[in-house]
Amino acid sequence: MTTIGVTGHMDLTEESVPLVRAALDELLRAYEPDGLVGVSCIAAGSDSLFAEAVLDAGGRLVVVLPSRDYRTAKVKPDHAETFDRLVAAAGEVLVMPHGTADRRAYESANRALLARAERLVAVWNGEPPSGKGGGSADVVIEARNTGLPVDVVWPEGAARRG
């Protein structure tokens, strides 16, 4: 069994989505479907693309939610259907013991994700941390500091909005 966590940018451009999804599909082909477990916070963008790719590859999904209010406080209407579908498809849903989705809750969810993972997939453009904490670069640094292997996925042509 191989357990892979994910971190990545939420703000992928529309043109980047199929590029990233194809790169994730290619990466996951290296794993046996019945032994593949993906761990994701299923945020919009990279996290959900990875979760969908794991399920489509025949793997099992573990969802980590940062707080009890995450669905109502942070999931935007354009992501709600995908979010709900992924929660329903998950073999396990872990909810961090935080009432409110804040930086502390995100960092806690990231630590739980890394604790479960044998590898990390980072849909990340390689930019350094923003300084706010809890972002993709922060998770990559934390994973690397603990010796967790990191596979960076940033296909040619991928970009962030803004």
**What is the number of helices (H) and of strands (E) in the chain?**
6, 6
pLDDT at 162: 78
* Gyration radius (Cα) of the chain, Å: 14
Residue 107 tokens, joined = 């960092």
Task: Read off the pLDDT of residues 28-65 as tens digits, 9 standing for 90 and up.
Answer: 999 999 999 999 999 999 999 999 999 999 999 999 99
Task: Read off the pLDDT of residues 57-99 as tens digits, 9 standing for 90 and up.
Answer: 999 999 999 999 999 999 999 999 999 999 999 999 999 999 9
Give the torsion sign (CA, 81, 39, 148, 133): positive
Could you give phi then psi for residue 155, rounded to 5 degrees? -65, 155
Task: Read off the pLDDT of residues 103-154 as tens digits, 9 standing for 90 and up.
Answer: 999 999 999 999 999 999 999 999 998 877 778 999 999 999 999 999 999 9
pLDDT at 131: 79
Alpha-carbon distance of 10 to 2, in angstroms, equals: 25
Residue 8 has pLDDT above 90, yes or no: yes
For residues 29-56, one letter each, b for 16 or more C-beta atoms within 10 angstroms of the residue's C-beta and e for the rest, the string is eebeeeebbbbbbbbbbbbbbbbbbbbe
Q: Provide the whole-model pTM.
A: 0.96
